[in-house]
A and B are shown apart, each in its own frame.
Chain A
Amino acid sequence: MCPREIVVSDHKLDPILRSDRLPHIWCPGCGLGPAMACFANAIQESDIPVDKHVCVSGIGCTGRVAGYLNVDSFHTTHGRAIPFATGLKLSNPDLKVTVFSGDGDLFAIGGNHMLHAARRNIDITVICVNNFNYGMTGGQLGPTTPYAARTTTTPYGNPEGPLNIPHLVAALGAVFVARWTVLHVRQLQKAIAYALNKEGFTFIEVLSPCPVGFGRPNDLGDGIDEMQFYRQQSIVDDRAPLESVGIDMSKESTLVLGNFVDRERPVYQPMGTEPPEQREQTAVYHPADPEVKAREAP
């Protein structure tokens, strides 16, 4: 006969968390905790040592993940997580850089950085937690707020159409694009672990309940009710046409999840910084370059 439950003071993930800062500030029913747990598990599973991992985040509820993880981390200004991560990766290519931020940070104020980082195929992993609104500042309209949804700044319904994030990021040229919800923890953890090991710009959208900011004005109920909604309305289709995977969050709508894109493209590498054996084919030398002169001499 085993005991019922054992009350302890430490969690088994505590070595990779800054447990002195727990409990975190996120509301009851928020999905950021499971997303962070999946990322922490994926870091522990990956072959890369923990001290080579870096977590960069922007501003917002999701931005606080960098402060709760016990890896090297940086909490950047609003929207500038990707430029910081780009510089970090290019100056120290040994690091495994992950950007963990929200939809408002990455696609509203940081939209242009997302566009160009994906186009260049910089070797970073981006995890975007999408809660359909600006949660930290009081539930305002964001770029992913579904059409006709109510928020603090659109009390009569959102007149704008939302971004279809996987379609956009795939069009920009990311080599891996996935979407999961925080209910699909095993699939999410596997997708993050895969993205960490894949070279190039890898992107994972994570749908998360925001019971206080988005759930309450839209009658979605508590966090648990939105999780039940994910459970009932989600379908997994890796080959879904990406133009059709937009989200409207109405009661009968479906959420299409899956690892949509997995392809190979050359990774961004500044000219002249390649290993010497590759330099012969790619680098362009000036005719006055002494190396070229020496090679052309009979």
Chain B
Amino acid sequence: MTVVRRPLDQSVLTIPRGQTYIIPQRCKGCRFCIDFCPKDVLEESTDINSKGYHYPVVSAGKEEACIQCTFCTLVCPEFAIYTEEIEPETL
């Protein structure tokens, strides 16, 4: 018999999730959002914006990985990225 330990309140626990919004024209390619994202959601785009910088995009396969920590929103010097909370993930 296998014993599976699960928290008593597992049914009510949720993982917050966020949707990323990007304003490519404002980005100056400093990489703060890409390097400090705790879930490594972002990567540099292959395209460039009108100033010639590679702006951040969500990596392939990481569409649902954002946990709405809002660090990219706070640390972006250009006000070029933010996240909005969406329906959380249930366990």
Say what secondary structure dominates the interface of chain B.
mixed
**Of the candidates B26, B78, B86, which one forms a contact with A2 in the assembled complex, judged by CB atoms under 8 Å apart?**
B86
Nearest-Cβ distance from residue B17 to partner chain A, whole angstroms: 8
Q: List A contacts of B23 (CB < 8 A).
A: 7-11
**Residue B20 interfacial (CB < 8 Å):** yes
Nearest-Cβ distance from residue B45 to partner chain A, whole angstroms: 10
Q: List A contacts of B19 (CB < 8 A).
A: 2-3, 6
Q: Are A22 and B79 neighbours in the complex by a CB distance under 8 Å?
A: yes
Which residue of A has the minimal Cβ distance to B24? A7
Which interface class (under 10, 10 to 19, 20 to 34, 35 or more) fits A?
35 or more
**Residue A116 interfacial (CB < 8 Å):** no
**Residue A122 interfacial (CB < 8 Å):** no
- On whether A32 and B77 interact (CB within 8 A), knowing A2-B19, A5-B58, the answer reads yes
Query: What is the 8 Å Cβ interface bit string for chain B, positions 57-84, against chain A (1 contact, 0 not)?
Result: 1101001100000010111111110101
Q: Are A12 and B30 neighbours in the complex by a CB distance under 8 Å?
A: no
Q: Are B22 and A8 neighbours in the complex by a CB distance under 8 Å?
A: yes
Instruction: Number of B interface residues at 8 Å Cβ cutoff, please give it.
Output: 35
Query: What is the 8 Å Cβ interface bit string for chain A, positions 8-48, against chain B (1 contact, 0 not)?
Result: 11111110010100111011111111100110010000000
Q: List B contacts of A222 (CB < 8 A).
A: 30
Which residue of B has the minimal Cβ distance to A38? B74
- On whether A227 and B36 interact (CB within 8 A), knowing A31-B77, A33-B79, the answer reads yes
Q: Are A26 and B77 neighbours in the complex by a CB distance under 8 Å?
A: yes
Contacting residues of chain B (16-43) with chain A, CB-CB under 8 angstroms: 17, 19-26, 28-32, 35-36
Q: List A contacts of B60 (CB < 8 A).
A: 4
**Residue A183 interfacial (CB < 8 Å):** yes
Which residue of A has the minimal Cβ distance to B22? A5
Contacting residues of chain A (91-120) with chain B, CB-CB under 8 angstroms: none
Contacting residues of chain A (261-298) with chain B, CB-CB under 8 angstroms: none
- 11 residue pairs of the A-B complex, CB under 8 angstroms, read A2-B19, A2-B86, A5-B21, A5-B57, A6-B19, A11-B23, A12-B21, A26-B77, A33-B79, A34-B75, A189-B74
Q: Are A224 and B77 neighbours in the complex by a CB distance under 8 Å?
A: no
In the complex the two chains form, what is the Cα distance from A5 to B30 in whole Å?
19
Query: What is the 8 Å Cβ interface bit string for chain A, positions 60-84, against chain B (1 contact, 0 not)?
Result: 0000000000000000000000000
Q: List A contacts of B36 (CB < 8 A).
A: 183, 227
**Residue A173 interfacial (CB < 8 Å):** no
In the complex the two chains form, what is the Cα distance from A143 to B74 in whole Å?
29
**Residue A223 interfacial (CB < 8 Å):** yes
Q: List B contacts of A41 (CB < 8 A).
A: 74
**Residue A186 interfacial (CB < 8 Å):** yes
Q: Are A185 and B75 neighbours in the complex by a CB distance under 8 Å?
A: yes
- On whether A12 and B84 interact (CB within 8 A), knowing A4-B63, A6-B20, A23-B28, the answer reads yes
Q: List B contacts of A23 (CB < 8 A).
A: 25-26, 28, 78
Known contacts A28-B28, A28-B29, A28-B53; 17 further A-B pairs (Cβ under 8 A): A2-B17, A2-B63, A4-B20, A5-B21, A5-B57, A8-B21, A8-B23, A9-B25, A11-B23, A23-B26, A27-B28, A28-B30, A34-B75, A37-B76, A38-B74, A183-B36, A227-B36
